[in-house]
Structure 1
Amino acid sequence: MRPSKTDLARTTLQAHGGTLGMRERRALILCDGQRGLDELVQLLGQDAPLLIQRLVRDGYLAASSSATATAPSPSPATSTAPTGPRRSRVAARIYLSGMLELHRDTEARHHRNRLQSRLDDDAMLQALADALRFLEGRVAATLAQRIRERLVEALPLEDVPSLHARMASQDDAVALT
């Protein structure tokens, strides 16, 4: 399948607004009739087939009838997958590094340098938890909550329970002192 933009897609992209989110707009830009589904999956993530199908169904993309027949149909397990941005430890690390950069003191610089050093998975999760705890102690409660939510959105799903456990163990250690 090599999806291409329809007139509706071109009009929507030129309008710089509308009902499409950034992810859908990016998909429309990348669907130039030259890229195949495999390449789009590499660029957009594993849920690209569902995104492309939805854009075809809504009239933004066109695909040949034979290509549409070979497109994978969403299974119940696949259709519940999140369609937001891809999750990664790198994205989480970059996000928290940016938040730490706003605090121009030695301790914030220490946490930022630790996040930017090459760490194994376990050490990276601990560094993320430590940096988050530091930020939560420095900012208003509402901002701290938003930072925590954005961090959880950026982390791979399998890392979220570990981060929560590390944060809980830090809370327990603080309560004991």
Structure 2
Amino acid sequence: MLLNKTPLARNALKAGTDAGLSLLERRILILADGKRSLDTLAGLLGPEILPMIDRLLRDGYLQRDEEAPRAPMRPGAGVAGALTGLLRATTDVLQARSEQIRAETAKPAPAVAVPADLHVQPLAPSASAAATPAAASARQRRSLVGAKMYLIDMLQLQRHPDAVEHKARIQLASGDDALLAALLDGLRVLQQLTPPSYAERIAIRLGEVLPEQWLPALAQVVATSQVPSSDGAGAPALKLVSG
């Protein structure tokens, strides 16, 4: 499925921040040019954009477009089109550069030739050297700040007063313990305001970014939730994987 921006989205991009869209939502609209699929956009911006794409489709900013015909250029639209194209090209270049850096970082160090008559005593691997690259990358992705930003975005999509109240509570929380409590209360609110499958995805994603020491508290909230999952089997069970 290809995604394309609608005239409403183009007007919103021209209006800038006055349109009421977040920075990530504007990036989605910029990249949705009728040539990129849903999977491509999720690969570029992360899986957390899926709820935003659902909302943009419902609100008329995005449309499903199998073969989007090019609209004739309107007088005076050349500058706006050139700026949009430049921004899209810059985004693609940055993404390609990031992938290149990750690929170069993942390359093994070149082997060093050792003379046959040189005896080297092997060293026992340290705990840090034994850690896998995947585990190190997972630790880098986990942070309380990242969990805070993610849940604020999810609450911002809801127009309910409870969501607005808990979003403000998360923003004003001082200290790790207070912030964790606010995050868990915000998750409970989302479980009440959103469909079960949506709430399940939010809980799983939050478990991916929350620091490991807070995962048991998150699992307890999910286990005690009264909101059934999409298959009717109750709240999802989070896998607490160290990494």
TM-score by length of 2: 0.41
Cα separation, partners in 2 of 1:122 and 1:169, compared to 1, 3 Å: farther
8 Å CA contact 1:136, 1:144 repeated in 2: yes
- What are the within-5 Å matches in structure 2 for residues 1-177 of structure 1? 26=98, 28-29=100-101, 52=105, 55-57=106-108, 75-78=129-132, 81=135, 83-84=137-138, 86-166=141-221
Residues 203 and 222 in structure 2, CA contact (< 8 A), matched pair in contact too: no
Q: Report how many residues are paired.
A: 120
Percent identity of the aligned residues?
38
Question: 5+ unaligned residues in a row in structure 2: which ranges?
Answer: 1-42, 45-94, 113-124, 227-243
Asked if 1 retains the 8 angstrom alpha-carbon contact of 2:173 and 2:182, the reply is no
Q: Residues 59-99 of structure 1, C-alpha deviation per residue, up to 9 Å, x if partnerless? A: xxxx6666xxxxx9984444561534611111111111001
TM-superposed CA distance for 1:151, in Å, is 0.5
Q: Which runs of 5+ in 1 are unaligned?
A: 1-20, 32-50, 58-62, 67-71, 172-177
The one-letter code matched in structure 2 to 1:92 is A
Larger relative helix fraction: 1
What CA distance in whole angstroms lies between the structure 2 residues aligned with 1:126 and 1:24? 38
Question: Which residue is 2:50 aligned to?
Answer: none
Give the structure-1-normalised TM-score. Answer: 0.54
Aligned mates of 1:118, 1:127 — CA distance in 2: 7
The structure number with the bigger radius of gyration is: 2
Higher relative contact order (CA 8 A, sep 6+): 1
CA shift digits 1:123-161 (9 cap, x unpaired): 111111100010001111111100000001010111111
**CA-CA distance at 1:120 after TM superposition:** 1.4
